[in-house]
A and B are shown apart, each in its own frame.
Chain A
Amino acid sequence: MVKNILIIGATSAIAETVAREYATQGHKLYLIARNEPRLTTIAADLRIRGAADVVVATMNVSNFSTHHSVIEKAYVALNTIDIVLIAYGALPDQKALEKSAENTVESCNTNALSVISFLTILANRFEEQSRGTIAVITSVAGDRGRHSNYVYGASKAMISVFLQGLRNRLHHSQVHVLDIKPGFVDTPMTAHIKKGGPLWAQPEAVAKDIVKSIENKKDILYTPFFWRYIMLIIRSIPEAMFKRGKL
């Protein structure tokens, strides 16, 4: 059966790889992102890979007032939505944010509040249709506040907690809510970080995990799997000890 899939932040490396998986399976895709030329390139690619149809729409997620109409348009085009994947996010420069309250709030607006806004609108739609999957890419960074990355971490943590509650609420309407927590992924977002070593994953591996977890209706996905254990250890370090470190 052809599924209708909405992806917000469709030009992100992980989202694009997920979209390729779904295109190969012949599903219908509605892609939202900011960069129009890139969206056009991606859409053409997905059509050739086998997508039943690809529709694109551009927007700036920080423009909260447009959220309602953007989702409305997606529903008009698709009629129903089986899967929504929210995949955008920006990795801020923690050091720079520490110097600016304004930029810190702005970063939280993009990484947390705009997602919450979308989720609020989508949750009501999904509750009404009583089926489907809402999947959001958060981060292992949301599992514990760390010296080097806590603004980003706090935003991701906010979404994760929101999703817990939403999962609880929508469970009664047979709606599946998936929280995706990737570790280090080799993407343009992390291009400035020195890479290599066994902790870095390719987006293809992460995308495969995501597609599988949507299929299996998993609640929380750590990807690659070993991050579940790494974060278990990091979460269980006592605060008194943790605060001395420089993680």
Chain B
Amino acid sequence: MRLSGWGNYPIIDAGSHSPQSIIDVSACLLNKNALIPRGLGRSYGDSSLAPQILSTLSLNHFIAFDATTGVLTCEAGVSLADILSTFVPKGWFLPVTPGTKFVTVGGAIASDVHGKNHHVDGSFSDHVHSFQLIIADGSGIECSRILHPELFHATCGGMGLTGVIVSATIALKRVQSAYIDETVIKAKNLEEVFNLFEEHQASTYSVAWIDCLSSGEFLGRSLLMLGEHAKEGGLIARKKKRLTIPFNMPSLLLNQYSISAFNALYYHKQREQVAERRVHYDSYFYPLDCLHHWNRLYGKNGFTQYQFVLPKSAGLEGMTAVLKEIAASKRGSFLSILKAFGPGNKNYLSFPMEGYTLALDFKIALGLFDLLDKLDSIVLHYGGRIYLTKDVRMPELIFKQSYTKWPDFVKIRTQYGADKQFHSLQSSRLGL
């Protein structure tokens, strides 16, 4: 079957296996060549691509739920959307959620995803109590911070390269309402938004939309969006009607002029310096989920998201250097998101570290990878790194210089025989 990541680049032909139960997963591993587990395929690049994939989508059952503590055990193919629609009406919410609810629990752990509350609550795996991993020889291993801690930390953020996560126990968090009280603050440049992030670090959720085509004194003008769970509004897991982008749009649709115009409109839509409103969690956390197949907006050649983090020490200077390079390239990103991270965790390959992260979408086009190579060297210079879940082209050398715990990761992979069984296009490219 034809497969790609969310970026629709690259598109490959792959064999697919869909085990119907956890026991089937072991059987599948014993009979097959090297493969990579895959959930909903929302990683952007080639991390869920391989000649053979193992789909976890049939492992979609809840196993146990403690209604007093909110501790949920479920199979790894359960989607965050399913968790929300089942548990929001009961007064529970995800402890951490990325910008789409169409990811599986297994994928969220393997990518160790983060959300708008990283600066207070850490990343997804920080709320995972334990999980069951089927390793290369088909046996199941229960992993937690106490049981097989090194395998636990290699698997969280480990991009599916240690084994197949088949079930997990995670802690949901109590909410009184399905609504979020949102505050949007305008920032006229990068310095201003940096200061605002510092000022509002007590806010549960924070993220900034940034206009990456503005330059000069307005370089990095942004809208900082803060959020707190509302106390009222009801617990309805509203299901919005989804619009579908029916086919790939002409890629010329998104160019520096259209993006620049959109950015200006979006920035000036809000007249006040500070605006407050109450919004449903669905529109607050997942604005793009209501646009089914929005990845088709970038045309048939696909797109990539370049997301990097710079340590706090690099601060304004590093981010300015990157933004200047992008503004000069005139390759506008339709959606650019800036976020302040709290401290990272102990996982070997997890992306977040204390500092600032910026995510930019670029359509695949001639010369793009040259620009990204240039950005790589700036990121590396300031001691930052690139998010593997979004990556489709990072050179091995950049990876190994920025993810310094990679030798330990490789050691654990070898120890559990994973180096013979689990490979993705990405892992081969990165020399793992």
A41 touches B64 (CB 8 A): no
B21 touches A24 (CB 8 A): no
- Check B58 for interface membership: any CB of A closer than 8 A: yes
Q: A44 touches which one: B21, B23, B64, B86 (CB < 8 A)?
A: B64
B54-86 near A? 1/0 per residue, CB < 8 Å: 000010011111000000000000000000001
B333-389, CB < 8 A from A: none
A188 touches B64 (CB 8 A): no
A175-208 near B? 1/0 per residue, CB < 8 Å: 0000000000000100100011000000000000
Q: How far is the CA of A45 from the CA of B21 in the complex (A)?
A: 13
Q: B86 touches which one: A41, A42, A49, A191 (CB < 8 A)?
A: A49
Q: A42 touches which one: B61, B64, B65 (CB < 8 A)?
A: B61
B64 touches A48 (CB 8 A): yes
B93-106 near A? 1/0 per residue, CB < 8 Å: 00000000000000
B20 touches A49 (CB 8 A): no
Main SS of chain A's interface residues?
Answer: helix
B58 touches A48 (CB 8 A): no
User: Contacts of A37 on B, CB cut-off 8 Å?
Assistant: 21, 23
- Check A38 for interface membership: any CB of B closer than 8 A: yes
B18 touches A45 (CB 8 A): no
User: Contacts of B23 on A, CB cut-off 8 Å?
Assistant: 37
Q: A191 touches which one: B18, B61, B62 (CB < 8 A)?
A: B18
Which residue of B is nearest A194, CB measured? B1
User: Contacts of B65 on A, CB cut-off 8 Å?
Assistant: 48
Q: How far is the CA of A41 from the CA of B61 in the complex (A)?
A: 7
Q: How far is the CB of B128 from chain A (nearest CB, A)?
A: 18
Q: How far is the CA of A44 from the CA of B1 in the complex (A)?
A: 33
**Count of chain A to chain B residue pairs whose CB atoms are closer than 8 Å in the complex:** 30
Number of B positions contacting A (CB below 8 A): 12
Q: B58 touches which one: A45, A188, A195 (CB < 8 A)?
A: A188
Q: How far is the CA of A49 from the CA of B83 in the complex (A)?
A: 10
Q: How far is the CA of A38 from the CA of B58 in the complex (A)?
A: 12
**Known contacts A49-B86, A188-B20, A191-B18: does B58 contact A44 (CB below 8 Å)?**
no
Best-surrounded residue of A41, A48, A50, A188 (most CB of chain B within 10 A): A48
Q: How far is the CA of A48 from the CA of B23 in the complex (A)?
A: 22
B1-38, CB < 8 A from A: 1, 18, 20-21, 23
User: Contacts of A24 on B, CB cut-off 8 Å?
Assistant: 86
Q: How far is the CB of A211 from chain B (nearest CB, A)?
A: 15
- 27 A–B contact pairs at CB < 8 A? A24-B86, A37-B21, A37-B23, A38-B20, A38-B21, A41-B21, A41-B61, A41-B63, A42-B61, A44-B62, A44-B63, A44-B64, A45-B61, A45-B62, A45-B63, A48-B62, A48-B63, A48-B64, A48-B65, A48-B86, A49-B62, A49-B86, A50-B86, A188-B18, A188-B58, A195-B1, A196-B1
Q: Please list the 8 inter-chain residue pairs (A to B) with the smallest Cβ-Cβ separation, ordered nearest first.
A: A45-B61, A48-B62, A45-B62, A48-B65, A41-B61, A49-B86, A188-B20, A44-B63
Q: Which residues of A contact B (CB under 8 A)?
A: 24, 37-38, 41-42, 44-45, 48-50, 188, 191, 195-196
